Amino acid sequence: MELVAAGAARLSPMGLAALPDAVARPGYDRASLRVGIVHLGLGAFARAHLAAVNEAALHAGADRGWGICGVSLRQADTRDALAPQDGLYALALRSADAAGRPRQQVAVIGCLLETLVAPEDPQAVLARIAHADTRIVSVTVTEKGYCHDPASGRLNLDHPDIVHDLGQPLAPRSTIGFLAWGLQQRRAAGLAPITLMSLDNLPGNGHLLRGMVLAFAEQVDRALAAWIASSCAFPCSMVDRIVPRTTDDDRRQVADALGVHDAWPVLAEPYLEWVVEDRFVAGRPDWPAGGARFVAEAAPFETLKLRTVNGAHSALAYLSVMAGWATVDQAMAQPALKAYLAALMQDEIVPTLPALPGLDLAQYQARLLQRYENPALKHQTGQIAMDGSQKLPQRLLDTVRARLAADLPIPGLALAVAGWLHFLRGVDQAGRRYEIQDPLADVLTRQYALAEQAAQEAGEGPAAMLAWTESLTSLAPVFGDLGQDPRFVRAVAQAAQSLRSQGVAGALVALAPSAPR
């Protein structure tokens, strides 16, 4: 990260009034805010989504009890960047005009009042969760942050962080440990229950979070688990906004717009969707003022987003990394890939979706492809490709199961899954190496080596790829029982053979004539 030069003018509360007129800024008295939301996982997405919507709610309402305390669970870099700015940072919404020229709208977000680093002071984090003013604890910790088995959905009691946390009530490491021990402190102090809310891309994310917290609490104190189960709320939600990593060049561009330096601005597309179940036990902000939608049941919207937005994103990412297409807009400039994604959604994903009255699915798909084409974001395909073992089950494999249950073909989905398996070799088609960033990286590396050995022993051609695929899809933590379904294994093996023999571009072209219409 590029540091702000010593002596350079820095974004600060004192300088808000002097910012250019085009820059939006807090229109409320920040000094009057109190922390009511504790957010675990203070990454770019939370700052570009939750905080942005919450900022609009603060402008729209008089309740000043909805400031945010952001918690970094691993590193101090976000705190170190934002603390000298009193938590202020810029959000730059980037798009392109009709001629493809980039444009941006910049706003300074003021509702982040406090930043904590969990490893430095875990007791401060627990105290915030247990504070009388806290009414909501939200999380964006990605799929791997739940310490669960993605295939079964159960808490992994053998996970090193969970093993540690069960014996360390004052110094937990994991999201689940912080939540359970923080709730234990609330209950012991006689404080009111709160709402715990997942904003991660997981099916039934509220149900999953509840299950993980209860499973942990059961190991600690059954009375605590009973209190959580009967008193606290865990609404499910669907969140959607593309948020790429911030680069040093982005910092320079934002500094030009602000007239001062911001150590860590965040970028996002203008599009934002947030559907959340209206189940809160201690009140909630006026988030609809920022574009959120409260519903009775989020599941249909979760399924829509996971299978279309996230499923297509993952399919794009693995094929693109192998082909050497570094950004999403660069990948979308490849006609064969764009046609593949359109067919994947229309022919294989959409027929598995639940009914969503009032939603124009054709328009939704067309807009999604337009969002991917946004040249102003420069969203790295390698970023999307991270943690595939945690993402595939809900992004692609649930759709595979739905189609196989209806005895429907899966050529496009099989190519996406084969793309991930192909990606695991760690070398793209041009021979460039990249790191497999995944919580199961060691397991995947070993299994990939076994698959290569199985392929060599099986001979050449389709037989080798079938043996290779059988070995990799036997990974139960990822594939569950799908590895036992010959229809799935054969389809993925065929797609893998096409990728091996023809490369990504060739495989995409070869698939197009045979894809169902």
Q: What is the pLDDT of residues 37-66, one digit of tens each?
A: 999 999 999 999 999 999 999 999 889 999
Once rounded to an integer, what is the mean pLDDT over residues 104-133?
Answer: 98
Average pLDDT of the chain is 95
In a domain, 9, yes or no: no
CA-atom Rg of the chain in angstroms: 23
pLDDT of residue 56: 97
Kindly tell me if the per-residue pLDDT of 481 is higher than 50.
yes
Same domain, 291 and 312: no
CATH of the domain at 463: 1.10.1040.10
Kindly tell me if the per-residue pLDDT of 516 is higher than 70.
no
Determine the Cα–Cα distance for residues 117 and 45; give it in Å rounded to an integer. 17
Q: What is the pLDDT of residues 405-430, one digit of tens each?
A: 999 999 999 999 999 999 999 999 99
Are 159 and 145 contacting, i.e. CB atoms less than 8 angstroms apart? Answer: no
Q: Which residues fall within 8 angstroms of residue 407, CB to CB, at 6 or more apart?
A: none
Residues found in the chain: 517
- Tokens standing for 78? 């976000």
Kindly tell me if the per-residue pLDDT of 513 is higher than 60.
no
DSSP output for 163-216: HHHHT-TTS--SHHHHHHHHHHHHHHTTPPP-EEEE-SS-TTHHHHHHHHHHHH
Helices (H), 200-260: 205-220, 222-231, 248-258
CATH of the domain at 176: 3.40.50.720
Once rounded to an integer, what is the mean pLDDT over residues 314-320?
Answer: 98
Q: What is the pLDDT of residues 347-357, one digit of tens each?
A: 999 999 998 88
Q: Which residues fall within 8 angstroms of residue 75, CB to CB, at 6 or more apart?
A: 117
> Could you tell me what percent of the chain has a pLDDT over 70?
98
In a domain, 28, yes or no: no
Same domain, 263 and 404: no
Kindly tell me if the per-residue pLDDT of 466 is higher than 90.
yes
Are 480 and 151 contacting, i.e. CB atoms less than 8 angstroms apart? Answer: yes
197: closest CA among 93, 304, 53, 322? 53
Number of domains in the chain: 2
Q: Among residues 280, 295, 310, which one ends one of the domains? A: 295
Same domain, 154 and 187: yes
In a domain, 7, yes or no: no
Same domain, 271 and 312: no
Residue in the block written with tokens 């021979």 = 431
Same domain, 373 and 494: yes
Kindly tell me if the per-residue pLDDT of 517 is higher than 70.
no
Q: Among residues 246, 268, 295, which one ends one of the domains? A: 295
Same domain, 278 and 317: no
- Tokens standing for 480? 């569950």
Q: Which residues fall within 8 angstroms of residue 195, CB to CB, at 6 or more apart?
A: 135, 136, 137, 232, 233, 234, 235, 279, 280, 281, 282, 284
pLDDT level of residue 102 (50, 70, 90 thresholds):
confident
Same domain, 320 and 265: no
In a domain, 348, yes or no: yes
382: closest CA among 346, 433, 444? 433
pLDDT of residue 1: 45
Q: What is the pLDDT of residues 156-197, one digit of tens each?
A: 999 999 999 999 999 999 999 999 999 999 999 999 999 999
Are 280 and 29 contacting, i.e. CB atoms less than 8 angstroms apart? Answer: no
Q: Which residues fall within 8 angstroms of residue 248, CB to CB, at 6 or more apart?
A: 1, 2
pLDDT of residue 500: 93
Q: State the virtual CA torsion across 31, 36, 40, 41 in degrees, nearest 10.
A: -40
pLDDT level of residue 307 (50, 70, 90 thresholds):
very high
Are 132 and 307 contacting, i.e. CB atoms less than 8 angstroms apart? Answer: no
**Residue 176 CA, distance from chain mean position:** 17
Amino acid in position 147: C
pLDDT level of residue 99 (50, 70, 90 thresholds):
confident
Label each residue of 435-486 as H, E or C: CCCCCCHHHHHHHHHHHHHHHHHHCCCHHHHHHHHHHHCCCHHHHHHHHHCH
pLDDT level of residue 467 (50, 70, 90 thresholds):
very high
In a domain, 412, yes or no: yes
Same domain, 251 and 336: no
In a domain, 417, yes or no: yes
Q: How many CB atoms lie within 10 A of CB 376?
A: 21
Crossing angle of helices 486-511 and 462-472, rounded to 10°:
120
Q: Among residues 250, 271, 295, which one ends one of the domains? A: 295
Kindly tell me if the per-residue pLDDT of 217 is higher than 70.
yes
Eight-class DSSP state of 428: -
pLDDT of residue 3: 58
Same domain, 260 and 334: no
In a domain, 1, yes or no: no
Same domain, 41 and 140: yes
Same domain, 140 and 226: yes
Q: What is the pLDDT of residues 24-44, one digit of tens each?
A: 999 999 999 999 999 999 999
pLDDT of residue 471: 98
**Residue 154 CA, distance from chain mean position:** 20
Same domain, 210 and 185: yes
Domain span holding position 366 = 299-514
In a domain, 181, yes or no: yes
